Structure 1
Amino acid sequence: MSTVRLTDFIKAYDVRGLVPEQLDASVCRALGSSFAQVVALPEGASGIVVGYDMRPSSPELSRAFAAGAAAAGVDVTVIGLCSTDGLYFASGHLGLPGAMFTASHNPAEYNGIKLCRAGARPVGLDSGLAEVRDLAQWQLDRGHLHGGTAAATPGTVTETDLTTAYGDFLHGLVDLRGGRPLKVVIDAGNGMAGLTAPAVLQREGLPLEVVPLYFELDGTFPNHEANPLEPENLRDLQAAVPAHGADLGLAFDGDADRCFVVDERGEPVTPSAITALIASREVAREVAAGRSPEDVAIVYNVICSRAVAETVAELGATGVRTRVGHSYIKAVMAEHEAVFGGEHSAHYYFRDFFFADTGMLAALHVLAALGGQDRSLSELVAGYDPYVASGEINSTVADVAAATERVLAWGREQGARVDTLDGLILTGPGEPMWWLSLRPSNTEPLLRLNVEAVDTETMTRVRDTVLGMVRA
């Protein structure tokens, strides 16, 4: 009987575990087999597609997964090294369920798997991942696969490279030709953008000069963690942009599905401002194609700046708020046929990219917007970033419910409007404007606080008051 407990490291949206203590070849073979049986075969898919990132363990683990799926009777197309959005492209382009081996921005000792159905539709615990997990656990506990019998006709395993096709597809959505020349510093963080950025942004004929930082694929992350959400991981890029006289900087996380932007001064541009900027472009494109603005939906999560909702309203489009998390935002986008969705964590979703998230397509939008006019990036985005935000502040608490109740009681005393779409959201009753989000972690005894206000004084007052109650 296996001593591995898959419930320890299969989370709400993906698999993320330590190698080899939790995730090894035998576990991946069982997961490949169960993914074939739970997702691919019942859907009638002709096969699955598998990709992997630059982590040292990724080739072996992905091979084991492919072998398990093939033994269950499913043909496997291995696209090799790719970004997570490259795998989503392959799933949509080929019409196949997919598996991406990556632990995103996690440290080197981790690896994981992101699964999707054909057309890059997400697989989470409530949409098939729990069944995949449970069947794999059953197989591991009994020391065999496929309920004791392999498929009468095993599937094949073939290899192909879709990197060029991925780049072609993105450039078909955003055309950079004709814009003014731009110099851009790109920090790949030794992650998969070291492969995808040259393939997409260093093509002949583009008005771009790329200054590369840490393009060498290295899953041990020798320079800094590939998590640009942490300020210390942006410092090299922030220094390099003004040092090179660049127009902007781009930073990608380990699997290159998130993109962070730095302006010409080396100052970070908030993901909310990027969301508002891209929303404006996508709404304008739909209107130019003959659609009424009110028929164009833009999705954003509850932690995005108030400026996003205000921008969408000014455009006359329909804004749709959703909970934090890619499975929620993808489902809401599909439900509303939304053209675009953005999250505070720099995940950007596009209808024309199979409703999936892609940092590289977001980068192309920013480059096109900047290159299509004469202002600097800081001037271009200023109107999309009028408020002061605390950033996400995590607090370890002994009693999450009690701490939340204290904040709720205080909010009611202030006359704040209460919203519970995702955790607790309080909006101040009048001027000066402020709002806050207090959300529990799904996996740890943490509360995550975000505060936004019209000015620094108000933001600081609300932030410090609430943190005092949370940490009491």
Structure 2
Amino acid sequence: MAADLSQIVKAYDVRGVVPDQWDETLAGLFGAAFAEVTGAAAIVVGHDMRPSSPALSRAFARGAADRGVDVTEIGLCSTDQLYYASGELNLPGAMFTASHNPAQYNGIKMCRAGAAPVGQDTGLAQIRELAERWLESGAPAPVAEPGTLTTRETLEDYAAYLRSLVDLTAIRPLKVVVDAGNGMGGHTVPTVFAGLPLTLVPMYFELDGTFPNHEANPLDPANIVDLQKRVPEEGADLGIAFDGDADRCFVVDENGDPVSPSAITALVAARELARNGGRGTVIHNLITSRTVPEVVQENGGTPVRTRVGHSFIKAEMARSGAIFGGEHSAHYYFKDFWNADTGMLAALHVLAALGGQDGPLSALVAQYDRYAGSGEINSTVADQGARLAAIRAAYEGCPGITLDDLDGLTVSAADWWFNVRPSNTEPLLRLNAEAKDEATMTRIRDEALAIIRA
């Protein structure tokens, strides 16, 4: 029977249950395949705090070394710390993490030298094909001169590099509660924040890949309840939550109210444009708030709209030379960080913006919160294409309404818009709506849902 890795090799990464779907043997084959596909003489490998991560990471490293590749192992790290190492050392990299998935999962995020993404079209399909072939026929014999495995500490250098991009030395003292969700933020935050005028209140900083307190996915409101309660109790200025591999950050204000990732995107965009003399391109995906392109234009920049998905953002960042990009999912991408995403750098920008003036965070972000949004609403449908066609038929040709097909279908009017896009993996349609006020948003949202669910 032919080996089939389609269940674990996704669009942008490898992800599956250990050991049921993959194990150290397969990790070794992925390492060998990564070495072959990148053609690199050396690579860098890191891992998160999951119980299976050290052994999987080491097996991958050995698989690559057997193909003659020298491997630098940086050990425990956040995903953006691995991107830093890939960028700074100019080496292809592999990060062992399953982000916020439950404990039995693990995965690999891979990049080329300079943190350039590896996805289905940029090497992942070839890596899968080689691993499948070797699963059937056996791994290739090690080369005559295998590569070396060396360890290297990068946490201090990573922290210093981030602090060199955002000046926090002159801010007023701030009290910040950080919920690491037992993920890698507990490893990186103390070093990044060291020496800054910040009083840090840590929550769930113990590294524990079984996630005993809550799932390490701050986009799910259930997972920030503890943080929302703790911030006002502590009289803190803000709260920050990181996901499991600490590449995404989510912010709550002094009252414990969530700050939308679109508002953070707008705030950071304004700061990055100011750093670049009021010039530059800023990328946003098509379901971020209209606030984002407005703020970018108000600050002299050029907004560019992309499809949803980090591969599209990273590709557009590289193509356009954009200085910054943001997504509704709390991924933030920086030209100064090899176009890669780093929640930690976004968090430092928020701290710098808040500490650089005297008002509370709720007042600071109010200027970036101009519209009422629905959030993402999923509907199970029998025929995605038929429902999209029904929406098109309902709105096409209506005065003052435009339609576009960049990603699913976006229907726009002067003071509202909504987007409906199909899931690639499930029989779902995803709706996002936004309007000038809550009443209009509710009306448009319900109109669209009635057609989707008819």
TM bucket, shorter chain: over 0.9
Tell me whether 1:145 sits opposite 2:145 in the alignment.
no
Distance 1:410 1:232 in 2: 36
Task: Report deviation, 1:414.
Answer: 4.0
Per-residue CA shift, 1:153-178, capped at 9, x if unaligned?
10111111101110010001112111
The CA distance in 1 between the partners of 2:254 and 2:405, in whole Å, is 38
1:253 to 2:243 alignment: yes
1:149-228 residue pairs with structure 2 within 5 A? 149-201=141-193, 203-204=194-195, 206-228=196-218
- 2:97 corresponds, among 77, 93, 102, to 102
Deviation at 1:25, TM superposition (A): 0.7
Is 1:36 the counterpart of 2:35 in the alignment?
yes
Question: What is the count of residue pairs matched by the alignment?
Answer: 453
Q: 1:113 is matched by which residue type in structure 2?
A: I
Gaps of 5+ in 2: none
1:442 partner amino acid: N
- Deviating beyond 2 angstroms after TM superposition, the runs of 4 or more aligned structure 1 residues are 413-416
| Displacement of 1:46 | 3.1
Which residue pairs with 1:438 in the alignment?
420
Q: Secondary structure at the match of 2:6?
A: helix
Aligned to 1:24: 23
2:402 to 414, 417, 440: 417
Q: 1:366 aligns with which of 342, 350, 354?
A: 350
SS at 1:6's partner residue?
A: coil
Distance 1:153 1:442 in 2: 43
Q: Secondary structure at the match of 1:139?
A: helix
Cα distance in 1 for partners of 2:198, 2:98 equals 30
User: 2:5 corresponds to which letter in structure 1?
Assistant: L
**What is the alpha-carbon distance in structure 2 between the residues aligned to residue 461 and residue 9 of structure 1?**
40
Offset at residue 92 of structure 1 (A): 0.5
The correspondence of residues 68-467 of structure 1 with structure 2, limited to 5 A, is 68-142=63-137, 144-146=138-140, 149-201=141-193, 203-204=194-195, 206-287=196-277, 293=278, 295-412=279-396, 414-415=398-399, 416-428=401-413, 430=414, 433-467=415-449
- Name the aligned partner's letter for residue 69 of structure 1: A
- Deviation string for 1:78-124 (max 9, x for gaps)? 10010000000000011100000001111111110000000000000
Partner amino acid, structure 1, of 2:253:
D
Q: Find the residue that maps to 2:303 and give its secondary structure.
A: strand
Task: Note if contact 2:94-2:110 (Cα within 8 Å) is conserved in structure 1.
Answer: yes
**Could you say what secondary structure the match of 2:276 adopts?**
helix
- Distance across 1 between alignment mates of 2:392 and 2:204: 45
Q: In the TM superposition, what whole-angstrom CA distance separates every residue of 1:175-203 from its partner, at most 9, and x where no partner exists? A: 211100000000000000000111101x1
Give the Cα separation in 2 of the matches to 1:20 and 1:394: 31
For structure 1, which segment, 406-415 or 56-65, has the greater mean C-alpha deviation from structure 2 after superposition? Answer: 406-415
SS in 2 for 1:7: coil
SS at match of 1:448: strand
1:150: how far off? 2.2
Residue 221 of structure 1: how far off its partner (Å): 0.5
Where 1:356 maps in the other structure, the secondary structure is coil
What is the rounded CA distance, in whole Å, between the counterparts of 1:460 and 1:216 in structure 2?
41
TM-score, normalised to structure 1's length?
0.94
Whether contact under 8 Å (2:41, 2:68) holds in the other structure is no
**In structure 2, the residue corresponding to 1:300 is in which secondary structure?**
strand
Whole-Å separation in 1 of the counterparts to 2:387 and 2:358: 49
Mean CA deviation greater in 20-29 or 262-271: 20-29
Residue 424 of structure 2: SS of its match in structure 1? coil
Residues 270-327 of structure 1: CA deviation (Å, up to 9, x unaligned): 000000000000111110xxxxx4x411111111100001111111211111111111
The SS at the match of 2:182 is coil
How does the TM-score come out when normalised to structure 2?
Answer: 0.98
- Letter of the 1:58 counterpart: S
1:217-264 Cα offsets, whole Å, 9 max, x none, are 011101000000100101011001101000000000000000000000
Deviation at 1:411? 2.1
Q: Deviations over 1:15-60 (max 9, x none)?
A: 1111111121111111000000011x2xxx3310000001111111
What residue is the counterpart of 1:12 in the other structure? 11
Q: Which runs of 5+ in 1 are unaligned?
A: 288-292
CA deviations on 1:376-433 (whole Å, 9 max, x unpaired) are 10100101111000001111111111111111212226442111111111102x4xx1
In structure 2, what is the Cα distance between the partners aligned to 1:378 and 1:242?
A: 13
Alignment-mate amino acid for residue 179 of structure 2? D
